Amino acid sequence: MLIVQKYGGTSVGSLERIENVAKRVAKARDEGNDLVVVVSAMSGETNKLIDYAHHFSKTPSKREMDMLLSSGERVTASLLAIALEEMGYPAIAMTGRQAGIRTDDTHTYARIESIDTEPIRRQLEKGRIVIVAGFQGINEQGEVTTLGRGGSDLSAVALAGALHADACEIYSDVDGVYTTDPRIEPRARKLDRISYEEMLELSSLGAKVLQNRSVELAKKMGVKIIAKSSFSDGPGTIITEENEQMEEVLVSGIALDKNQARVSLRDVVDRPGIAAEIFQRLADEQVNVDMIIQNASREGTTNLGFTVPQSELERAKEALEGFSGDYGEVDYDENVCKVSIVGVGMKSHSGIAAKAFSTMAANNINIEMISTSEIKVSMVIDEKYGELAVRVLHEAYELDK
């Protein structure tokens, strides 16, 4: 079998842990598998590098950020290869470029366009374990790019797809996907399986156990992901196509996203084209706007509110500057979060959203914004109630049962 394994930051967070990973890889090798192993930077390393850059500049060039951030994964890849060689297992570490990963030019958030699998195949044929530095590739100009936070998951899925691997195992510090973050709700239950669709919603809405783009790609390429722990043995959670058994479940999980900020524009001049103008400015600054609410107009003006990732708030402020005159005042609130319930069963059942709202009411949590889709209900609330909301919703939908 050809297996792609990915080890996240915590799993390679110290030299002892890298050694632990080397042993796991060696074991899989002893079982007769060909292995491509994708690694993250040591935990905290990427954040540390970002802080270093911010020491010099509030808005460092994205090209340089990619040069900088891609180095973290390179360290762990080579250390793991060295550890394996020392144990008597032939191994070779590769950067994204050496592994043939080509991306577009969106520095710091690049999209994988293609993978030339030849270099990896050649090494596998020589009997080597191939270790790939995750989270990176190169663009057409040969510049280093990175794939967005948590992007090593995407490297692993893309490689598994391109190599037609038999399995794509993603190892972290939890032994699978739970009904909610087990750090917030200890009664969270591990799921044996979850559909791509639900997993995509959960990870897009804040469950970082898998990066959302990796789930999207896995769905597109039909890569079956297994989420497992690098600290214990167990079957993990399989992320795969929806099946009948899953449809019986109304709500499968709850996600919390603390990386949210709310922007409110008051007394916006109510004329055709105003929303187009505001959101075009935000798009030009690459701000991802999420929930939007606009009140009915009174006396020619209206109020407009929307959420953006907290990390993009500075850019949102820049985008809205120079646009004054068309609105009265603007305020920004970083103390909000988004809590969401997700389940494919919602498609065919009513009353799920109502239950979420009444649960919040019963706990005196004010809902500031709401958005829904076929399989999710999201609510923006005060950040200080985020974890409480997760727990009471978990209980209300009996997810621990």
**Across the strands, what pairs with 211?**
none
Under the binding rule (CB under 5 A), the answer on residue 13 touching Mg ion is no
User: Residue 260 binds which entry of Mg ion, ligand ADP, ligand ASP, none, with Cβ cut-offs from 5 to 8 Å by kind?
Assistant: none
Strand order in the sheet with 91-94: 91-94, 129-133, 34-39, 2-7, 167-172, 225-229, 237-240, 193-195
Measuring CA to CA, which residue among 184, 180, 110 is closest to residue 149? 110
Which of the choices ligand ASP, Mg ion, ligand ADP, none does residue 10 contact, using the CB cut-off of 5 to 8 A by kind? Answer: ligand ADP
Closest CB to ligand ASP among 10 and 179? 10
Closer Cβ to ligand ADP, 76 or 302, answer by number: 76
Contact between 7 and ligand ASP per CB under 6 A: no
In this structure, which amino acid lies at residue 299?
A: E
CB of 182 to ligand ADP, least distance (A): 6
From candidates 253, 305, 343, 386, binder to ligand ADP by CB under 6 A: 253
150 binds ligand ADP (CB under 6 A): yes
By the 8 A CB rule, do 336 and 380 touch? Answer: yes
Does 236 help bind Mg ion (rule: CB under 5 A)?
no
Helix (H) or strand (E) holding 167: strand 167-172
Chain center to CA of 271: 37
Query: Which residue has tokens 């479940």?
Result: 249
Helical pair 386-396 and 352-362, crossing angle rounded to 10 deg? 130
Task: From 31-39, 85-93, 200-208, 268-276, give the range in contact with ligand ADP by CB under 6 A.
Answer: 200-208
Among 76, 103, 155, 180, binds ligand ADP (CB under 6 A): 180
Part of the chain binding ligand ADP (CB under 6 A), chosen from 15-23, 206-214, 298-306, 375-383: 206-214
Q: Which does 149 bind (CB under 5 to 8 A by kind): Mg ion, ligand ADP, ligand ASP, none?
A: ligand ASP
Nearer to ligand ADP, 209 or 336 (CB): 209
| Contact between 90 and 126 (Cβ < 8 Å) | yes
Cα of 120 vs its chain's centroid, Å: 26
Q: What is the CA radius of gyration of the chain?
A: 23
The answer to the question of residue 173 lying near ligand ADP (CB under 6 A) is yes
Pick between residue 265 and residue 390 the one whose CB is nearest to ligand ADP: 390
Taking residues 129 to 158 in sequence order and writing x for each that binds Mg ion by CB under 5 A, - otherwise, the string is ---------------------x--------
Q: How far is CA 375 from CA 201, 244, 289, in A?
A: 8, 16, 20
Residue labelled with tokens 């144990």: 87
Q: Hey, which bits of 215-281 come out as E strands?
A: 225-229, 237-240, 253-269
User: Which one of ligand ASP, Mg ion, ligand ADP, none interacts with residue 252, CB within 5 to 8 A by kind?
Assistant: none
Q: Are strands 329-342 and 376-382 parallel, antiparallel or unpaired?
A: antiparallel
Select 73 or 290, whichever has its Cβ closest to ligand ASP. 73
Residue 164: which of ligand ASP, ligand ADP, Mg ion, none does it interact with, CB under 5 to 8 A by kind? none
Site for ligand ASP in 21-80 (CB under 6 A): 40-41, 46, 72
Q: Which of 3, 9, 123, 391 binds ligand ADP (CB under 6 A)?
A: 9
Q: Which amino acid is at 278?
A: I
To which H or E segment does residue 141 belong? none
The pairing of strands 237-240 and 301-309 is: unpaired
Cβ of residue 192: shortest distance to ligand ADP, in angstroms? 13
Given a contact cutoff of 8 angstroms between Cβ atoms, the answer to whether 236 and 176 are in contact is: yes
CB 99 within 8 A of CB 159: yes
Least distance in angstroms from the C-beta of 191 to ligand ADP: 8
| Closest distance to Mg ion from the beta carbon of 257 (Å) | 15
CB 137 within 8 A of CB 152: no
Q: Which two tokens stand for residue 115?
A: 């993978």
Alpha helix ranges (H) inside 226-312: 244-247, 274-284
Between residue 123 and residue 152, which ones bind ligand ASP under the rule CB under 6 A?
A: 134-135, 149-152
Residue 383 C-beta: closest distance to ligand ADP, Å:
17
Q: Which residues bind ligand ASP (CB under 6 A)?
A: 8-9, 40-41, 46, 72, 134-135, 149-153
Q: Which residues bind ligand ADP (CB under 6 A)?
A: 8-11, 40, 150, 172-174, 177-178, 180-183, 202, 207-209, 253
